[in-house]
Amino acid sequence: MKKFSMLINAKDKIAHINPEIYGHFSEHLGRCIYEGIYVGEDSPIPNVNGIRTDIVEAFKNIKLPILRWPGGCFADEYHWKDGIGDKKNRKKMINTNWGGVVEDNSFGTHEFFELCEQVGCEPYIAGNVGSGTIQELAEWVEYMTFDGVSPMAELRKENGREKPWKLKYLGIGNENWGCGGNMRPEYYADEYRRYQSFCKNYSGNNLFKIACGPSGDDYNWTEVMMKNLNKDQTKGISLHFYYVPDWSDKGSATQFNEEDYLTILSTANRMDTLLTRHTEIMNRYDPNNEIGLVVDEWGCWYEVEPGTNPGFLYQQNTMRDAIVAALSLNMFNRHSKRVVMANLAQVVNVLQALVLTSGEQMLKTPTYHVFDLYKEHQDGEAVYCYTENENLCEGKDVPMISSSASVKDGVMTITLANCSLTDEAEINCDICHFAGTEVSARILTGDVHAYNDFDTPETVKIEEYTATLVDGALSVTLPPCSVVTVTVK
């Protein structure tokens, strides 16, 4: 057993935690949209207007706040008009990025908004800059948001939707340094300025426009964006970072040793450096935080499960992924002054998924349970918490304890992860300037290789746990490889 002191000062506020930090991402990739979310109205799988009821319930339970769509790389080849109107007449296309399979466009704009309405989440549309035209993107915005007489509003009405939808978040392209057009940052910045000019605020709708940001540590990209993008026209800059130590051999999601585990954790911890350094650049141009950092793709990316289509990016999800999710979300909370949104890749059946499906079965992954444990941070005020720590591995940055805390409506939520695979951690925490007297806790723990499959979907699940609070002194013991939420009120 190792002992760690911790201090939380409820007066010492970092920033508001936007619910969108707990966001997600759904791409036309593998079995994410089709099978995972959308099964069609005639499916024997229970659905409402073609959307699986089990996934909607699962998403509601974690208060899923925002969903990004339709890509990813798919977004920069997506032509939205192919995905509206009578399904029989919708154009079929090749999904060139993801397995070369036929995309029949049966899930399009109307179906996406229907999904968001059922879940009760914000839609986040990623527009096509790489292979689309300005007119196409401008018309999409008009189609979705204009309440009046116009060609696109008429078309929307002909397709059965009288009233426009509300759309806040609009991405102007995706990875335009790569699959979205291989652009140089100076060129993309000019393209961004042009494209966004024609995306109008119609009928009281107010767009939060997001520019394509850097890949990982491409600090020059951020610098060029901040230098060239106008604050009136840009509310966010994205960042993509996948936790992949070696792209030529991404390793198995389930077969790994302790060194592999520590390597993924140290890669994930690089997120903290990236957030700090991109923030430093943004601070120089935008000291008042008018432009947010939007980490709209993050997570673990392994080799696909044996026997599955390599283009479908289907992977299992173990307690290792839960630990990675826990420390990532703690980092986002701590950086919530600049980080206004983050979207895990991806929501169903792809990469570090929340849920997996097989026919009519659905299971919640360990990563899903972390979002459940952390959901009360949404809309809280992040407060500073200082934790004594110890590094788990020489030469790698892997702190044993990860933590963050927030306060909302008189309730403090403290989330902790013990990354050690061998040692318990006794946390003794002084809580200052907070009047709570009742404490409760929930835990997710298990062998680091443990995962849920369709025969045993509850191998890894949340359980009630014990913490004590005496005169502001909180005490909780974290088993090895565990994620714990402590609630004080």
Catalytically active residues, by annotation: 175, 297
Contact 267, 242 (CB under 8 A): no
The overall longest dimension of the chain from CA atoms, in Å, is: 69
Q: Left, alpha or beta for 270 (phi > 0: left; psi -120 to 50: alpha)?
A: alpha
Asked if 77 interacts with ligand AHR (CB under 6 A), we say no
Contact 167, 123 (CB under 8 A): yes
Among residues 14, 22, 27, 269, which is the contact residue for ligand AHR, using CB under 6 A? 27
Q: Which residue is nearest to ligand AHR (CB)?
A: 72
In terms of Cβ atoms closer than 10 Å to its own Cβ (0-12, 13-18, 19+), residue 18 is buried
Among residues 30, 71, 83, 173, which is the contact residue for ligand AHR, using CB under 6 A? 71
Compute the least distance from the CB of residue 75 to ligand AHR, in Å. 8
Among residues 72, 83, 214, 446, which is the contact residue for ligand AHR, using CB under 6 A? 72
Which is nearer to ligand AHR, 71 or 366 (by Cβ)? Answer: 71
> Cα 204 to the chain's mean position, in Å?
27
Compute the least distance from the CB of residue 288 to ligand AHR, in Å. 30
- The mark string for 250-289 relative to ligand AHR (x by CB under 6 A, - otherwise) is ----------------------------------------
Stretch that binds ligand AHR, among 70-78, 165-173, 283-291, 318-326 (CB under 6 A): 70-78
**Residue 338: what are its φ and ψ, rounded to 5°?**
-105, -35
In 19-105, the DSSP E strands lie at 23-25, 47-48, 51-52, 66-69, 93-95, 101-103
Stretch that binds ligand AHR, among 85-93, 115-123, 204-212, 345-353 (CB under 6 A): 345-353
- Helix, strand, or coil (residue 418): strand
Stretch that binds ligand AHR, among 69-77, 149-157, 415-423, 462-470 (CB under 6 A): 69-77
Asked if 345 interacts with ligand AHR (CB under 6 A), we say yes
Which is nearer to ligand AHR, 50 or 214 (by Cβ)? Answer: 214
Which is nearer to ligand AHR, 4 or 107 (by Cβ)? Answer: 107
- Helix, strand, or coil (residue 137): helix
Pull the structure tokens for residue 403. Answer: 């933590």
C-alpha to C-alpha distance for 86 and 106, rounded to whole angstroms? 9
Asked if 344 interacts with ligand AHR (CB under 6 A), we say no
Asked if 103 interacts with ligand AHR (CB under 6 A), we say no
Asked if 297 interacts with ligand AHR (CB under 6 A), we say yes
C-alpha to C-alpha distance for 226 and 213, rounded to whole angstroms? 10
Compute the least distance from the CB of residue 144 to ligand AHR, in Å. 22
Stretch that binds ligand AHR, among 67-75, 361-369, 380-388, 409-417 (CB under 6 A): 67-75
Stretch that binds ligand AHR, among 68-76, 108-116, 315-323, 415-423 (CB under 6 A): 68-76
**H or E element, residue 477:** strand 473-478
**H or E element, residue 326:** helix 319-334
Asked if 296 interacts with ligand AHR (CB under 6 A), we say no
- Please list, in sequence order, all residues whose beta carbon lies within 8 angstroms of the beta carbon of residue 19, skipping any fewer than 6 positions away: 63, 65, 66, 378, 379
Asked if 175 interacts with ligand AHR (CB under 6 A), we say yes
Compute the least distance from the CB of residue 53 to ligand AHR, in Å. 26
Asked if 139 interacts with ligand AHR (CB under 6 A), we say no
> Cα 166 to the chain's mean position, in Å?
21
Residues that contact ligand AHR, how many (by CB under 6 A): 10
DSSP label at residue 305: P
Stretch that binds ligand AHR, among 46-54, 344-352, 394-402, 479-487 (CB under 6 A): 344-352
Compute the least distance from the CB of residue 351 to ligand AHR, in Å. 6
Contact 126, 195 (CB under 8 A): no
> Cα 156 to the chain's mean position, in Å?
29
Pull the structure tokens for residue 277. Answer: 């350094």
Among residues 73, 116, 339, 478, which is the contact residue for ligand AHR, using CB under 6 A? 73
C-alpha to C-alpha distance for 205 and 213, rounded to whole angstroms? 24
Which is nearer to ligand AHR, 79 or 449 (by Cβ)? Answer: 79
Compute the least distance from the CB of residue 41 to ligand AHR, in Å. 28
Distance between start and end Cα atoms, the chain: 28
What are the residues binding ligand AHR (CB under 6 A)?
Answer: 27, 71-73, 174-175, 297, 345-346, 351
